[in-house]
Structure 1
Amino acid sequence: MRQRSRGRATLAAVAAMCAVAALPGQAYGADGPAAYTFDPKAKAVKGAAVNTDATDLTAGSVYRSSIKFGEKLYYRLNLEATTNAYVSAVVVPKDGGKVAYGDGIAISVRDNSDLGCSSENARFGSAEYPRPIAAYAYRTVDKDSSSCQGAGVYNVVIERQSETTSGRGEWELEIRYASEPQLAKEPSTPPEAPEDWPSASPKPATRAPDNRRHGGGSYYDATSLETGEWKDEVVPGQTLFYRVPLDWGQQIFATAGLGNSTVPDEDEYISGALAMSLDNPAHGHVDSASAMAYSGKPASMSLDPVPPVAYRNRFASDTRVSAMRFAGWYYLSVTLSPEVAKSYGSKPFPLTLTVNVEGKAAGTTPYRGEAGIFGVTQDDKDMARNGQSGSQAAESKSRSSNMKLLGAAGIGAGAVLVLGLGGWMLLARRGRAAAPAGTADAGQQQPYGGPPQAW
């Protein structure tokens, strides 16, 4: 039975390796850019129109849902008194849906008396074309606050906001619920939010000889970057995702630029041609650059300087500052307007992304226990240096585990073989020792046929 179990384990490992190898990646298809890559571990969940019918969300989980025109949906949290809960929603309009400046979603966390704990809006803004946009809301523990504290039921409310002239198609949602660890030591007095921070443009990042990094199709498979100038290509209508590890005390600067068009005698002016956003480790929106216009000539845009990562940032009233509240992976997304294709064609456009991470990492965490997604590890730094995405790292880890399983199964089969040979030889010796006098050659009368073929 043990031998049979080892065989099953080996076959399972081989099947798992084949499945990993067959995972589809982001690529340019004949019908245009690849779609948003939803997390394959996302669980299907349906939002409720009435809060008492809402489905429970579990910390550390990812969900896939959808929202229709004019809908307001409820999801449910069961929180302990000490839980710092963050829930984010990525909205993904289906192809062809028309969106306006004020279209988007509003997400909030509310207690069971409908008192708001926090809320955030995600808007398409001046880049009026469908693309993934994200927002988050949270309930955090605050001993100086009397609202949204204590254990109990809390509601996550996601509301679609669209103008009457906008598309009526369904929007897909990717919902994440993350729990922030508790502080190792509570401060005696609440830290004050920063009022100023370095804002001067950093020294231009060095361009490495091998500086091509192709962005992923979502937060799930975002390509890891470190300080440097990175080359890519983007097709009209496509959104590319990148991620940068920021430790406590570090600050990010980012610039995106489009190369010139090779279409002859074309200088059509397109407003809002390129959009760029920055989101934090909980997929909460930090800031967006003003959408960049394009007229076939080289053009670039930059994010406004944000403060270095610090726990105290959360006490700021400015959402750009408060969103820089924890260490971890920060996400950059870049979208090229589908309108660009009408004047300059649908072929890939040269894209340059320049990233500067400034400041010395603090090297310590304020949390009790593991920081999880709210920290930076050596593995994270290695991934940024090698350009790995989170999904690639997970696949690599899975392959390594499967190889270890195959190795263990091989060793186990070898051990069974050795034991079998030993047992057969012991039986043979006992047979010779028990043979009657005058039959000293009795043990040679049976031809050697090898060990029993029990496997």
Structure 2
Amino acid sequence: MVIALLVLWTAAARPAAARAGDGYAFTPGARSVAGAPGTAGAALLDARHTYRSSLPRDAGLYYRLRLTAADTAYVPVTAVPPPDAAVSATDGIRVSLRDADGTSCSYSSARFGAGISPRPVTAVGQRETGKALCRGGGTYYLLVERLDAGAPGAADRDGRWDLEIAPVTEPGLVRSGATTPPRTWDSATPEPPSGRPLERSGGTGFATARPTGQGVWRTALAPGETRFYKVPMEWGRRLHASAGLGGARGHGYVGGALTLSLHNPVRALVDDASTGYTGTARTTALRPLPPVEYANRYAVPAGVTSVRFAGDYYLVVHLSTRLAEPFGPGPYEVTLRVRVDGRAHAAPGYDGGPVPRDVFTVTDQDRAAALAGGFAHGATGAEPGPGGGGRGGGGTMRLVAVGGIGTGTALLLVLGGWTVAARRAHARAR
């Protein structure tokens, strides 16, 4: 009986199989908010919640935040165009965060790139404490603009792209530490993991990203599909990843056919890589990255400064829509190779907690979910339950291959996972 319950629960928790045309999975319970054409009347955003909005063509929209002088703020904005929107390589979004006087604290942009394929793209506005500009507390404004040169597609007649906005605040340190990044780290490309790939489908958004650890993973994608994975990274650990596209029949060349992107826990882009395709198997890999360290934020290269805190790092895989014409509708085999190394160490001495409170935390549950391919931190394959606009839903974890423990113990672990998930969901909704 216990075994039957475990089997049924495991099947229910498993994400639905990927289908061509699956849409972006917004955070369950995300609050709807309308952007304003100017700062007057701009809606207030709160880091305890995630928001849904939309951005029309040829327009910029404002949103409002209230920040303390002590906290660093990150405001990631994910733009989701319709699946058949006509886009160019330079289309995308631009995001800036400004103080009440209109001084810009930061600019960030995200573009569709060489694949010339509509997909979710994310840019982050940020206000860092200790900088010359934007030092004080008070009212700040997020400005989101379109970078759009293409003509609207069949599903893009009104020109609107959906938006997901997920603000985060990070406290300062109790004691000021070194303000220079680590001077030495092994920048050689590590050997990718080998072995027989295991099946692991990805999620369709940051909120449903599939927990993934070190190993070789395989999935099947159709042209135009995007899949999200998340790798829990502790302080001192280092991530490397590559993605391979299997061979197919057909003739021609598609630039940017496969794109692999890495985003940090506040969804800021760390690195991306893409490869062209002629029908023969191809692989693309991220550049070597340093270990996760607080002091990386003082570096200049974006690939170093963005590896500044522990938490979930997101691997995003996209197949260009342009693959379909010369090589067929697929699905295509995609292999993801993930390596995690380095020595974990304690977190820096934060003077308070971030919001959301677990955004820079890696738990034992997260590590287990990454190994088992289950769910933690709110990513589930089931329909979202009631939410308060927080970071996610239930936070359950699928238990597979529970070798070496009894079924009674396994059931207790399942129930314990449900209890922890329910407490987290309740805390986030408060």
The letter of the residue matching 1:254 is A
Give 1:381's aligned residue.
367
Q: Which residue of 2 aligns with 1:149?
A: 135
Contact 2:227 2:318 in 1 (8 A): yes
Corresponding residue number in structure 1 for 2:229: 242
Gaps of 5+ in 1: 1-20, 405-455
> In the alignment, is the contact (CA less than 8 A) between 1:27 and 1:33 conserved in 2?
no
* Residues 232/44 of structure 1: CA separation in 2 closer, same or farther (3 Å cut): same
Check whether the contact 1:207–1:230 (CA below 8 A) recurs between aligned residues.
Answer: no
2:284 paired residue among 282, 301, 312 = 301
In structure 1, C-alpha distance between the alignment counterparts of 2:288 and 2:183, rounded to whole Å? 13
Q: C-alpha distance in 2, partners of 1:67/1:312?
A: 35
| Matched AA of 1:93 | P
Secondary structure, aligned partner of 1:362: coil
Query: 2:95 aligned to 82, 107, 126, which one?
Result: 107
CA distance in structure 2 between the partners assigned to 1:348 and 1:268 by the alignment:
18
Q: 2:341 aligns with which of 332, 339, 358?
A: 358
Between the aligned partners of 2:30 and 2:119, the Cα distance in structure 1 is 20
Partner of 2:256: 272
Query: Which is further off, 336-345 or 47-56?
Result: 336-345
Matched, 1:171 2:161: yes
Secondary structure, aligned partner of 1:361: coil
- For these two proteins, the number of residue pairs brought into alignment is 375
1:48 paired to 2:36: yes
Q: How big is each residue's C-alpha offset from its partner over 1:106-133, in whole Å with a ceiling of 9 and x where there is no partner?
A: 1111101111111211111212110001
Aligned to 1:66: 54
Matched, 1:35 2:23: yes
Is the partner of 2:208 in helix, strand or coil? coil
- Does residue 1:343 correspond to 2:333, yes or no? no
Say whether 1:80 aligns with 2:68.
yes
Counterpart for residue 202 of structure 1 = 190
Indicate the RMSD between aligned Cα atoms, in angstroms.
Answer: 2.6
Equivalent residue letter for 1:273? A
Report the Cα distance in structure 2 between the residues aligned to 1:194 and 1:401, rounded to whole angstroms: 40
Letter of the structure 2 residue corresponding to residue 186 of structure 1: S
User: Max radius of gyration: which structure?
Assistant: 1
CA distance in 2, matches of 1:34, 1:221: 13
Q: Secondary structure at the match of 1:383?
A: helix
Counterpart of 1:217 (choices 185, 188, 204) is 204
Three-state SS of the structure 1 residue aligned to 2:50 is strand
Q: 1:366 to 1:403 in 2, by over 3 A?
A: closer
Is structure 2 residue 89 aligned with structure 1 residue 89?
A: no
Please state whether the residue corresponding to 1:313 is helix, strand or coil. helix
Report how far residue 403 of structure 1 moved: 8.1
Change (3 A) 1:396 1:375: closer
Identical aligned residues as a percent: 37
- The offset of 1:314, in angstroms, is 1.0
Q: Which of 165, 174, 184 is matched with 2:174 structurally?
A: 184
CA-CA distance at 1:83 after TM superposition = 2.0
Determine helix, strand or coil for the equivalent of 1:220: helix
| Structure with bigger RCO (C-alpha 8 Å, 6+ apart) | 2
Q: CA deviation digits over 1:265-288, x for unaligned, max 9? A: x23222211111111100111111
Show the counterpart of 2:116. 128
Please report how far the alpha carbon of residue 207 of structure 1 lies from its aligned counterpart in structure 2 after TM superposition: 2.9
| Structure 2: segments with no counterpart, 5+ residues | 1-10, 381-392, 399-413, 420-430
Counterpart contact for 1:67–1:73, Cα < 8 Å: yes
Contact 1:365–1:375 (8 Å) recurs in 2:
no
Equivalent residue letter for 1:220: A
* Alignment correspondent of 1:447: none
1:223 is displaced (CA, Å) by 0.8
What code does the residue aligned with 1:356 have? R
Helix, strand or coil at the partner of 1:335: strand
Contact 1:273 1:292 in 2 (8 A): yes
Paired with 1:246 and 1:77, the residues of 2 have a C-alpha distance of 29
Q: Alpha-carbon deviation of 1:388? A: 1.8
Deviations 1:278-328 (A, max 9, x none): 111001111111x21112211111011122111111112222221111111
- Separation in 2 of the partners of 1:274 and 1:165? 24
Alignment partners' CA distance in 1, 2:416 and 2:56? 42
Higher helix share: 1
Q: Provide the residue aligned with 1:158 in structure 2.
A: 144
Q: Hey, what's the Cα distance between the residues in 2 that align with 1:388 and 1:68?
A: 37
Quick one: distance in 2 between partners of 1:228 and 1:236? 25
Instruction: Give the Cα–Cα distance (whole angstroms) in 2 for the partners of residues 62 and 345 of structure 1.
Output: 37
Q: In structure 2, what residue type is equivalent to 1:82?
A: A
